[in-house]
Structure 1
Amino acid sequence: MPEVTKNNALQRYEIHEDGQLLGFAAYRDLPDGVVELPHTVVEPAYEGRGVGSALIKAVLADIRADGHRVLATCRFVAGYLDRHPEYADLRATRQAV
């Protein structure tokens, strides 16, 4: 089972399984409790296996738990938010930043 951790030193959330890095989502803390997600990477060997979706689901849960909102400048994250209306309350706009 993959595990998602927040790596503050590298400003990214990482997804690992059995000690292997499967991918990551970079983040940047912005003013007013907004977290920008500008870039998501899944290692090529793990693409198409739901790794990116599992990663972003965990990232959004963490951001929600902290009471923050998301500025999705990464196309993958923006697409995920579009497909999952249950996260609409987390979406920040660039004007709000």
Structure 2
Amino acid sequence: MTVRHEPGASRFILNIDGSDDSAIAWYQTDPEGNLLMTHTEVPFAASGQGIGSRLARGLFDIARKDGLRLVLRCPFLGQWFARHPEYSDVVAG
């Protein structure tokens, strides 16, 4: 499973193997070009399987690689980041 950034849809998406479902993290872009991460959704059938964490790690890796800055308004992503401070270089607020 690989996370994809879809800027045209303002989201990061992770297709779940063996399923038609996807985990998605949505964002808005602020005037400085930061990505305001607003909401993360994992299908109920995939909950408890680490899918949200895979999505989070993948989007943080993409942000680092592409020089993006994230503002964490999504509670899930904020909690994930609290456990992974090694990504502080991509968090703007």
TM-score of the aligned structures, taking structure 1 as reference length:
0.84
User: Which residue does the alignment assign to 2:90?
Assistant: 90
Q: Once structures 1 and 2 are overlaid, which stretch shifts more, 24-33 or 74-83?
A: 24-33
User: Which residue does the alignment assign to 1:69?
Assistant: 69
Contact 2:2 2:58 in 1 (8 A): no
Offset of residue 29 of structure 1 = 1.9
Total equivalences in the alignment: 92
Looking at structure 1, the residues matched to 71 and 60 of structure 2 have their Cα atoms a distance apart, in angstroms, of 11
> Counterpart amino acid of 1:42?
V
Cα distance, 1:53–1:27 mapped onto 2, change above 3 Å: same
Identity %: 30
Looking at structure 2, the residues matched to 51 and 82 of structure 1 have their Cα atoms a distance apart, in angstroms, of 18
Alpha-carbon RMSD across the aligned residues, in angstroms, is 1.5
Cα distance, 1:7–1:18 mapped onto 2, change above 3 Å: farther
5+ long unaligned stretches in structure 2: none
Cα distance, 1:5–1:78 mapped onto 2, change above 3 Å: same
User: Which residue does the alignment assign to 1:36?
Assistant: 36
Task: Please identify which structure carries the higher strand content.
Answer: 1
5+ long unaligned stretches in structure 1: none
User: Could you report, residue by residue, the CA deviation over 1:29-73 in whole angstroms, capped at 9, with x for unpaired residues?
Assistant: 223341111000000000010000000111011111121211000
